[in-house]
Structure formats: structure tokens, C-alpha cells
Amino acid sequence: NAGVTQTPKFQVLKTGQSMTLQCAQDMNHNSMYWYRQDPGMGLRLIYYSASEGTTDKGEVPNGYNVSRLNKREFSLRLESAAPSQTSVYFCASSETQGAFNEQFFGPGTRLTVL
Amino acid sequence: QQQVKQSPQSLIVQKGGISIINCAYENTAFDYFPWYQQFPGKGPALLIAIRPDVSEKKEGRFTISFNKSAKQFSLHIMDSQPGDSATYFCAASKAAGNKLTFGGGTRVLVKP
């Protein structure tokens, strides 16, 4: 079991460029999440998908879009990257969207926007 | 607006010592309080969690203490080991169906 996988591991973009971060899980989980991690800010939820076919905004959704492609895959797109989006991005999944369900995190994507 | 405040930001402890990390929350609707551990270059992983119907939960060398009236909870790492060196995040959530709100994180370094 690979758990939660993310690609790419590192990416450098110029301001205004677009890119898609990919995430896949092999645990048959229903819910998936995208977070960003910035120093001193902890992890902040960008978007989440409670189940296949649904997506909802989290705490910091501006400048991002998501697609729940199927039960396994949840992608995050930056349409026009800005330096403020320089961060480490984590994808996570859980069995359901319940508060008492453990979230399993991927290894992260380190993104730098110049 | 940071709904979960975590302190300290960093902590250095000698091997065998006790590491203590504190968190305070504002939303009284929160009723699930997990702690996540993150090693460099890795994603966070659930360490231990507590619900407010108990005041303390212990798993091995890790203990959560919970004070509902003060809206505070803390993580104690007893007999700290160099392998415990990591960043620790507290989090909070409302009842089933809602999302986790994380604290800012504490970087713990255990010196041999």
C-alpha cells in the first residue's frame, strides 16, 4: 500500500504560470483534502471533497481550483500562480469526513513561485 | 483569525526530559482534539487524540491533558528521545462532518 501519493515533489513556477498538483490514495477513502503549510501558520485547508463528485471550499480557497477525478484522485490547480502561493502543499484522505476519522497525509509538494 | 493557538513555537529538551506543548482554542463547539507529528520532509501523522469527555489520555510516553473550562489542552512527552525530534501540531474539530483547524506547530529538538 502506497497510502497517499503526491506529484511532483518540488516545483518552481514564474508568476502567472499555471500548474496542477496531483494526489492519489489507495486506501479506498471517501474524503480527500488539500492543505497548505506555511511557517508559524500550521496547516490551512484549501479545499476538500467529502465524497466522490463533491468539493467544497476550505479556509483559504482563493486562487485555487480542485477536481475530484474519481474516488482515488483529487487534483489542485493554480490557474495564475502568485508569490503568495509559495508553500508546501499536502494532500490528505480519510475514510469519511467525520471529525473522528484519522486523516492520512501525503509527503507534500514544495512549490516556489518567483 | 487563529482559532487554535499553540505555544511554544520551538522547544529544546535534553534526552530523558519532559516536553510540554500547549494549545488554546476559542470555539466551544470543538469536541475532538488530535495531535499530529511531522518529521522533516514528511507529511503529518496522527499521534494521539482526545475528546472532551475525559481529562487525560495516555499512549506510551505521550499524554494529552484537557481542561474544558479553560479551553486548553496540552501534549506531554515523557522521557523524551532524540527520535521524538519533530514538529508537533495540535488541532481541533467540531462534531462529525467538519474539518480540522490546526495550531501553528511546535518544533521539538531532543538533544542526546
Query: CA-nearest residue of chain A to B100?
Result: A99
Whether the predicted pLDDT of A5 surpasses 70: yes
pLDDT range class, residue B95, cuts 50, 70, 90: low
Q: Does the CB of A102 have a partner CB in chain B at under 8 Å? A: yes
Query: Mind giving me the DSSP string for B87-111?
Result: EEEEEEB-STT---EE---EEEEEE
pLDDT, residue B98, reads 59
Whether the predicted pLDDT of B52 surpasses 90: no
Whether the predicted pLDDT of B101 surpasses 60: yes
pLDDT, residue B97, reads 56
Which residues of chain B neighbour A90 with C-beta distances below 8 Å?
A: 43-44
Q: pLDDT digits over A24-82, tens only?
A: 999 999 999 999 999 888 899 999 998 898 999 999 999 999 999 899 999 999 999 99
Whether the predicted pLDDT of B61 surpasses 60: yes
pLDDT, residue A2, reads 84
Q: pLDDT digits over B2-43, tens only?
A: 689 999 999 999 999 999 999 999 988 888 899 999 999 999
pLDDT, residue A40, reads 82
Whether the predicted pLDDT of B72 surpasses 70: yes
Ranges of beta strands (E only) in B1-112 are 4-7, 10-14, 19-25, 33-38, 45-50, 56-59, 62-67, 72-77, 86-92, 101-102, 106-111
CB contact under 8 A, B93 and A106: no
